[in-house]
Amino acid sequence: MEREEFVNVAEEALDSLPEEFRSRIQNVAILVEDFPANQSTLQPGQRKRLLLGIFHGVPATKRSVFNLPTGPDHIVLYQNELARLRRVAGKQTTRLTHYGRKTGKPHEVTIWFVLDSDRLYIGTANVNRQWVRNVQKTPKIRLSIGGKNFNGTARFLTDRTEHKRAMAAIRRKYWMFRPIIELGRVLSALGLMRDNTGSFEVTLAG
């Protein structure tokens, strides 16, 4: 997508906001850059996320008559990061490079993945698989998707709410396999089969 087209799409999205929100956005410019100039320092316990855009200015809820003018407010969108996500989301599988728990040697496996908003998930029907254990031990991974490589860090989702969100996103993407997936869920609910599903959230580097 060319830069001018990207800007037009962004402006159309802003114009399509409900009136109750759009009426509160005044004198805000839309700027587009390729990548963030720098990433802010993470606070303890804070997880790094892919930065798609940022607002520069003073929120309307924090403005005061005593504020000095600092220039027009503006929103910066990062086009190449968004394009990168779109390229990832369009493929069906990813080739995951993981590292042996004892040897540290690289191994590869082809698995499913899904992009849900800005969250990239990989999942498994069996948490006892070797690649799952390896990634839990060494979360630094590489994904090969459509001939392009992406380095990242995988976080195993122990929180049930997060895990359910990830698996729901996987089921939506791979709807053609839903009968098999649903059968496993039913058997697990009846206590006839243990739920061994697991999922990771992947944060891409850079």
pLDDT of res. 44:
47
Tell which of 83, 109, 137 closes a domain. Answer: 83
Could you say which of 56, 83, 110 is where a domain stops?
Answer: 83
pLDDT at 59: 73
- Span 77-90, average pLDDT: 67
Both 103 and 199 in one domain: the answer is: yes
| Domain ranges, residue 44 | 3-83
77 & 114 share domain? no
On whether both 78 and 104 belong to a single domain, the answer is: no
Q: For residues 3 and 188, which has the higher predicted lDDT (pLDDT)? A: 3
Mean pLDDT check: name the lowest of 67-76, 160-169, 184-193.
184-193
What are the DSSP calls for the chain, one per residue? --HHHHHHHHHHHHHTS-HHHHTT--SEEEEEESS-S-PPPPPTTPPP----EEEES--GGG--TTPPP---EEEEEEHHHHHHHHHHHT-SEEEEEEE-TTT--EEEEEEEEEEETTEEEEEES-TTSHHHHHHHH--EEEEEETTEEEEEEEEE--SHHHHHHHHHHHHHHTGGGHHHHHHHHHHHHTTSS----EEEEEEEP-
Q: Does one domain contain both 39 and 115?
A: no
Both 95 and 186 in one domain: the answer is yes
Same domain, 166 and 113: yes
pLDDT tier at 17 (50, 70, 90 boundaries)?
Answer: confident
CATH number, domain containing residue 21:
3.30.2010.20
Look at residue 2 in the predicted model and tell me its pLDDT. Answer: 62
Domain boundary at 66, 83, 100, which? 83
CATH (domain of 191): 2.30.110.10
Task: Specify the pLDDT at position 34.
Answer: 72
- Which pTM does this prediction carry? 0.57
Number of separate domains in the chain: 2
| Whether residues 22 and 100 fall in one domain | no
